[in-house]
Amino acid sequence: MRSPQLVPAAGLPARVTIYEVGPRDGLQNEATTVPAEVKVEFITRLLAAGLPVVEATSFVHPAWVPQLADAAEVMTALGDAGRDLPVLVPNERGLDRALELGLRHVAIFGSATETFAQRNLNRSLDEQFAMFEPVVARARAAGLDVRAYVSMCFGDPWEGDVPIGQVVDAGKRLFDLGATQLSLGDTIGVGTAGHVTALLDAFNAAGLPDDVLAMHFHDTYGQALVNTHAALLHGVTTFDASAGGLGGCPYAESATGNLATEDLVWMLDGLGIETGVSLPRLVETSTWMARHLGRPAPSRVVAALE
């Protein structure tokens, strides 16, 4: 399989952690139910392709995200292999479900805007912190690792532009609940490179250095990869991506797929930045998944290589 010519560039990190969200963000918006055993195989194949972190599913209300209603079945089938994979939990009920299965990594997901907090969590912007506070406290007390997401960092479909200060306030509040990492979500994929740099500068100024930050780009406007490059240059070393470029949030109007993991790996391989991921095995996995979903993977790199 073709690979990019290796030509390193100055000023970039030697190693990047890819946080794979395909089984969760990638599948949550799929209209046709994907059988639990296919999800389990998808996760197993992604791990075998060398992805160091695979977010497996969500312990949200099953009626809110029917595609992931089989979260317990999937995690049970994974057994020990799933114990360290992160899962989304919005509230204490979600945490209880994850704890019952012995899981060790959870992620809370807040909003930088009022409208998305209401639509995605059925809570006001302020109420979301009250919902997450006991989740993080109890998870940390039980020795779990907690990631926090903040959504609508670069724009909101209902509110339009979102001031950087508002994003930093919400993100810092979520992180300060006791998270170890904050993932900055461009939920609807509208951000541009200068905006990325300015947002990261503002988080650094608020006391959150690049090494506790991750970037979560959706590729709606084709900006995900250039935005990734801007964040790499800034010093961020954790990037969320979805195999094949699947994805989108059912409660965020106009959201399309995440940055495709293959597109990210192609760029990082060309730059000589280590990820531990095998591009051929990943492409094979996304092609296999695309057959199950009945349409080609959105990723440009998958289309070029399959």
Q: How far is the C-alpha of 10 from the C-alpha of 273, rounded, in Å?
A: 11
In order of 97, 116, 119, 166, 215, the CA distances from 157 in angstroms are 32, 9, 11, 16, 19
Per-residue mark of binding to ligand HMG, 235-254 (x: CB under 6 A): --------------x-x---
Q: Does 223 bind ligand HMG (CB under 6 A)?
A: no
Q: Does 186 bind Mg ion (CB under 5 A)?
A: no
CB of 214 to ligand HMG, least distance (A): 10
CB of 147 to ligand HMG, least distance (A): 10
Q: How far is the C-alpha of 252 from the C-alpha of 120, rounded, in Å?
A: 8
**Element housing 186 (H / E):** strand 181-186
CB of 27 to ligand HMG, least distance (A): 11
Q: Does 121 bind ligand HMG (CB under 6 A)?
A: yes
In order of 2, 148, 150, 169, 251, the CA distances from 86 in angstroms are 32, 11, 16, 25, 21
Closer residue to Mg ion, CB minimum distance, 95 or 255: 255
Number of alpha carbons in the 13 Å side-chain half-sphere of residue 247: 31
3-state SS assignment for residue 24 = helix
Residue of 106, 213, 236, 249 marked catalytic: 249
CB of 304 to ligand HMG, least distance (A): 26
Judged by CB under 6 A, the number of residues near ligand HMG is 25
Per-residue mark of binding to Mg ion, 6-35 (x: CB under 5 A): -------------------x----------
CB of 80 to Mg ion, least distance (A): 27
First-to-last CA distance in the chain? Answer: 9
Contact 242, 261 (CB under 8 A): yes
153 is known as an active-site residue: no
Q: How far is the C-alpha of 15 from the C-alpha of 18, rounded, in Å?
A: 10
The entry of Mg ion, ligand HMG, none that residue 61 binds, CB within 5 to 8 Å by partner kind: ligand HMG
Q: Which residues bind ligand HMG (CB under 6 A)?
A: 25, 28, 58-61, 64-65, 90-91, 93-94, 97, 109, 120-122, 149, 151, 185, 187, 216, 218, 249, 251
Which residues are tagged catalytic? 249
